[in-house]
Amino acid sequence: MKVVTSIADVRHQVKAWHLAGETIGLVPTMGYLHEGHQSLMASAKKDNQRVIVTIFVNPMQFGPKEDLASYPRDLERDKIACEQMGVDLIFAPTAEEMYTPCFNSYVDVNGLTDALCGEKRPGHFKGVCTVVSKLFNITCPDRAYFGQKDAQQLAVIKQMVRDLNFDIEIIGCPIVRETDGLAKSSRNSYLSDNERKAAVCLYQSIELANTMIAKGERSVATIHSAMQLLIEQQSLAKIDYIEFVDLCSLKPVSQLTQDTLCALAVYVGKTRLIDNFIYHFH
């Protein structure tokens, strides 16, 4: 497995693989890798001859009051996680390699970014789309893998790829969870023992919603207030949002009469956690 930090080195390797007729799967990450990331690598490995993992804590997607400086980083541990999964190349650039001093071009997807995390984190998806476009152009993959954990991100990237004609297949991968249901996340490492116990309330609220839906409940207001009540019982938790939106448009829905994404963001202590589930209308 190669570990490279320069764009030129990635291009050199990618060119050789393409000349040999090999397909490339890309897994973009911010590092501090866990089994969620590894499940993306496993899918990439299955579908492609070569797998590239990028590790880059992208300053552009963090707001001024967010956790850019404290975001967990451990490249040595990440190398082992990638090696285990048979990754061929890690691209771990510096911010200076990605953004030259005169950098001044952006990719901004409208509409889908108005709601949910787009509304709560202004500029976040512009940063995501810009860096993912750059990573696509640097690594020229056949397929790129994203987690359903970041459901809005997946939807936004799919729209960007359609709109800008990137010749790349975008593959969404299921959410990987801890045994108690908490979605795996690099940010879980911020949680104290008590916060970690409290953090299960996100998943519990999803389970509650699914139980209500299984019993026939279709009113979003009713399900929403039950989820809210459950989370508010946790003194360490503070809801940022719980939203039910149409799976394609990400516009709010009031009844479950179409495919619906329920997405939530909850602060547990100072740590902002997200989770979601999809209701499929039959």
Nearer of residues 155 and 223 to ligand AMP, judged by Cβ: 155
Among 10, 24, 26, 30, binds ligand AMP (CB under 6 A): 30
Nearer of residues 134 and 224 to ligand AMP, judged by Cβ: 134
- Can you name the residues that pair with 90 across neighbouring β-strands? 3, 53
Please tell me whether residue 146 binds ligand AMP under the rule CB under 6 A. yes
CB of 163 to ligand AMP, least distance (A): 19
Please tell me whether residue 173 binds ligand AMP under the rule CB under 6 A. yes
Please tell me whether residue 152 binds ligand AMP under the rule CB under 6 A. no
Among 54, 185, 205, 271, binds ligand AMP (CB under 6 A): 185
- 175: how many CB neighbours lie within 10 A of its CB? 20
Please tell me whether residue 121 binds ligand AMP under the rule CB under 6 A. no
CB–CB of 92/56 below 8 Å? yes
CB of 36 to ligand AMP, least distance (A): 3
For ligand AMP, which stretch binds (CB under 6 A), given 1-9, 106-114, 168-176, 244-252?
168-176
Sign, CA torsion 237/241/244/248: negative
* Closest residue by beta carbon to ligand AMP: 147
In the residue annotation, 37 being an active-site residue is answered as yes
For ligand AMP, which stretch binds (CB under 6 A), given 15-23, 67-75, 163-171, 172-180?
172-180
Rounded Cα–Cα distance for residues 29 and 50 (Å): 17
For ligand AMP, which stretch binds (CB under 6 A), given 18-26, 145-153, 192-200, 273-281?
145-153
- Residues with a catalytic annotation lie at 37
Contact residues for ligand AMP, defined by CB under 6 A: 29-30, 36-37, 39-40, 146-147, 149-150, 173, 175-176, 183-186
